[in-house]
A and B are shown apart, each in its own frame.
Chain A
């Protein structure tokens, strides 16, 4: 059976379903609950998890001098295990300099440009993913705790609008799969709740580490919708909504996903 016909069968199944509510807080589960035992074992073994290789690269970059200031991240932030503990669990976060929220990767670039006087790293570049993975790793086990104050609310709401919007040639919304049909099968995989607690992830489909933005673009391609650009406000708003939706769940970065 082709990929298209699998998705079409799901569309037919959800087409007439009325929009249900958000998943009740106590029914939320990590996406790790929906992967195979082998994949979970891979995630939980630091020697078997290929993303840990990228974390090590990030540690090297953390200690590498950069930019006109010739300073490394460590020169200002010291030991990441201390200074970055819990940081990733709070992103996306409002950046006063830009008047809107940014995600962790954008924050890394903002610090590079502003404080190191270095070039920003391209989205999805090995270097940016390595630094992101290294920093995110320092939040492992801690609860997702993005701010949802008055300043954040318009952006979280904008993210929700995208999450609930039917789009693309298949006229599907994220919510239809991940709020209304989680736990059901789509091809060989279970549909997770899309609790984005493990990013950046080693995705088996990519055979490499990638960001939540890359994964969201994949979802949109899967829905036959035009993906938002890397770094676009839409993607960051959607990330913010997803992290708010996962509030309280434990960070698992870097996770392994199919």
Chain B
């Protein structure tokens, strides 16, 4: 998930971008330093309770390492010179994205179906703009 690379665009859209990862505050601090994300909220959830509440799933072996999925993931990241960081915590835990409106409504959701399932940035930006426009 590389949405943090587009943080300025989300701010311009009127939405706050925040990331939640497994691991410790030190891992989050390193992530911020490595990607120049000063000021962005990066939180840690080693218990993974919010992953569960967000509807994220645990991948099967096929959903992680099937050649078709590995190839799809490689294709999706090839153009952005992305190198996957080290996985912390539960290696089969998948992530995802929720756009939450000010009133607590989930305006848009895409929890990953396998390790290659990352939503297009423009699609998330469109949802964020829509949520900002409707208050």
Partners in one complex: no
Q: Which residues of B contact A (CB under 8 A)?
A: none
